[in-house]
């Protein structure tokens, strides 16, 4: 591992230079990687592993849209595409990439096929961390590992095709074979990680649930909505309110942050913008800090996990979800956003 200084705190990370792709292939040359679930993370990880030269099969229910997508992506029924049970039986590494709710529902089906020496792989620590709630308790004679890309499967695939990588965390919950670390690192490199940093299943799920509800999705939507609504209430047009709230952030400023950091973005804005941002950011931090504490406490206590399990296991979950997503989609802010996106210059 390479020791890297992260803002004055040194951490061990694993880079592609010290664990190159060829080493990853050699490590897993006798393994069959079974991707269970072809929804959010499944396609990106499966295709990246396949393109990188690993032996990959997919397990998916048929008929289903995900099964059809796997066929469209080049997986062949009876050769590299199987029922879930067949794939788990054939695989030596089982990448359990279903949704948290689906993992709970399917666990009794796949557990009998998790025979000694296999590896059970997750990209989210939910099922294992909250095993008392989920019932996902692995056999003692298998490896239980995690590689969690810090983004969606779509982003993982897009960056892979662009020759880049999406950073991932990795963790070991159970090392039955004394090969768990080399297996998970090889898989992390194989799926296209930029670099790998070590965590635990518990820390991964705590940070992930906090991030999703916070700055990655929940908080950012809340901030967007608050500013957009304020501008509209003060007489600004939908176009102006959306451009000043979302479009400039996502199309202009956030890419600058990704490129070189917040300080660099500040330095490349007007002096008026710099002054205002420097004067106001701590007020927003102080206003949000109690909400983030409440959020983390709820995650740590298991309340968020229970809410997710209770909600996602309901028979009409998808119907209710569609109603909530349509509320966002049909809000004036995101209808304005659709119009703004349609007016972006087309690439030639």
Domain assignment present for 60:
yes
pLDDT one-digit tens code per residue, 117-174: 999 999 999 999 999 999 999 999 999 999 999 999 999 999 999 999 999 999 999 9
Whether 89 and 194 map to the same domain: the answer is yes
> What order do you get walking across the sheet with 56-59 strand by strand?
2-6, 9-15, 195-198, 168-174, 143-149, 119-122, 93-96, 33-36, 56-59, 81-82
What's the number of CA atoms in the CB half-sphere (13 Å) around residue 217? 9
Give me the pLDDT at residue 348, please. Answer: 61
pLDDT one-digit tens code per residue, 101-111: 999 999 999 99
Omega of the bond leading into 240 within 30 degrees of 0 (cis): no
Domain of 182 in residue numbering reads as 2-199
Give me the pLDDT at residue 109, please. Answer: 97
Q: How many domains does the chain have?
A: 2
Whether 64 and 6 map to the same domain: the answer is yes
pLDDT one-digit tens code per residue, 193-231: 999 999 999 999 999 999 999 999 999 999 999 999 999
Domain assignment present for 205:
no
pLDDT one-digit tens code per residue, 307-334: 999 999 899 999 999 999 999 999 999 9
| Residue recorded with tokens 């499966």 | 46
Whether 52 and 13 map to the same domain: the answer is yes
pLDDT one-digit tens code per residue, 225-248: 999 999 999 999 999 999 999 999
Whether 23 and 126 map to the same domain: the answer is yes
Whether 320 and 276 map to the same domain: the answer is yes
Domain assignment present for 324:
yes
Q: Which of 118, 124, 183, 232 is catalytic?
A: 124
The CATH number given to whatever domain includes residue 163 is 3.40.50.720
Give me the pLDDT at residue 346, please. Answer: 86
Query: Would you call 303 a catalytic residue per the annotation?
Result: no
Which one of 177, 199, 221 terminates a domain? 199
pLDDT band at 260 (very low <50, low <70, confident <90, very high): very high
pLDDT one-digit tens code per residue, 178-193: 999 999 999 999 999 9
User: End-to-end distance of the chain based on CA atoms, in angstroms?
Assistant: 44
Mean pLDDT of the chain: 96
Polymer length in residues for the chain: 348
Give me the pLDDT at residue 2, please. Answer: 86
Give me the pLDDT at residue 13, please. Answer: 95
Residue 252 has pLDDT above 80, yes or no: yes
Tell me, rounded to whole angstroms, the distance of Cα 311 from its chain centroid.
20
Residue 290 has pLDDT above 90, yes or no: yes
Residue 1 has pLDDT above 90, yes or no: no
pLDDT one-digit tens code per residue, 2-12: 889 999 999 98
pLDDT one-digit tens code per residue, 36-55: 999 989 999 999 999 999 99
3-state secondary structure the chain: CEEEEECCEEEEEEECCCCCHHHHHHHCCCCCEEEECCCCCHHHHHHHHHHCCCCEEEECCCCCHHHHHHHHCCCCECCCEECHHHHHHHCCEEEECCCHHHHHHHHHHHHHHCCCCCEEEECCCHHHHCHHHHCCCCCCCCEEEEEEECCCHHHHHHHHHCCCCCCEEEEEEECCCCCHHHHHHHHHHHCCCCEEEECCHHHHHHHHHHHHHCCCCHHHHHHHHHHHHHHHHCCCCHHHHHHHHHHHHHHHHHHHHHHHCHHHHHHCCCHHHHHHHHHHHHHHHHHHHHHHHHHHHHHHCCHHHHHHHHHHCCCCHHHHHHHHHHHHHCCHHHHHHHHHHHCCCCCC
Give me the pLDDT at residue 106, please. Answer: 97
Domain assignment present for 61:
yes
Whether 191 and 229 map to the same domain: the answer is no
Span 265-272, average pLDDT: 95
pLDDT band at 347 (very low <50, low <70, confident <90, very high): confident
Which one of 199, 225, 255 terminates a domain? 199
> What is the rounded distance in angstroms from the CA atom of residue 204 to the CA atom of residue 137?
18
Domain assignment present for 206:
no
Which one of 173, 199, 225 terminates a domain? 199
Whether 90 and 194 map to the same domain: the answer is yes
């Amino acid at each position: 591992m390479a020791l890297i200084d992260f803002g004055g705190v040194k951490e061990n990370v694993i880079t592609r230079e010290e664990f190159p792709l060829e080493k990853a292939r050699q490590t897993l040359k006798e393994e069959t990687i079974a991707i269970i679930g072809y929804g959010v993370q499944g396609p990106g990880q499966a295709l990246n592993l396949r393109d990188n030269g690993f032996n990959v099969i997919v397990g998916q229910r048929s008929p289903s849209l995900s099964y059809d997508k796997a066929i469209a992506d080049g997986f062949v029924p009876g050769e590299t595409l199987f029922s879930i049970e067949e794939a788990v039986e054939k695989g030596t590494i089982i990448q359990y990439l279903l949704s948290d709710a689906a993992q709970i529902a399917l666990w009794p089906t796949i557990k009998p096929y998790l025979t000694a020496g296999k590896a059970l792989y997750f990209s989210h620590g939910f099922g294992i961390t909250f095993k008392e709630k989920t019932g996902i308790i692995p056999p003692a004679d298998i490896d239980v590992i995690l590689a969690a890309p810090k983004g969606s499967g779509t982003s993982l695939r897009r960056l892979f095709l662009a020759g880049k990588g999406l950073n991932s965390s990795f963790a070991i919950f159970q090392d039955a074979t004394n090969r768990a670390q080399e297996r998970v690192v090889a898989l992390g490199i194989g799926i296209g990680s930029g670099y790998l940093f070590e965590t635990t299943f518990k820390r991964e799920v705590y940070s992930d649930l906090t991030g999703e509800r916070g700055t990655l999705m929940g908080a950012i939507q809340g901030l967007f909505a608050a500013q957009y609504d304020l501008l509209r209430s003060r007489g600004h047009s939908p176009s102006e309110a959306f451009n000043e709230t979302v479009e400039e952030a996502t199309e202009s400023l956030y890419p600058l942050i990704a490129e070189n950091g917040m300080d660099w973005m500040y330095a490349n804005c007007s002096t008026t913008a710099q002054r205002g941002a420097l004067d106001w950011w701590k007020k927003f931090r102080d206003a949000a800090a109690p909400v983030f504490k409440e959020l983390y406490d709820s995650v740590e206590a298991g309340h968020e996990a229970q809410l997710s399990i209770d909600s996602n296991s309901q028979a009409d979950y998808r119907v209710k979800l569609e109603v909530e997503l349509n509320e966002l989609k049909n809000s004036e802010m995101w209808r304005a956003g659709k119009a703004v996106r349609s007016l972006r210059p087309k690439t030639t």
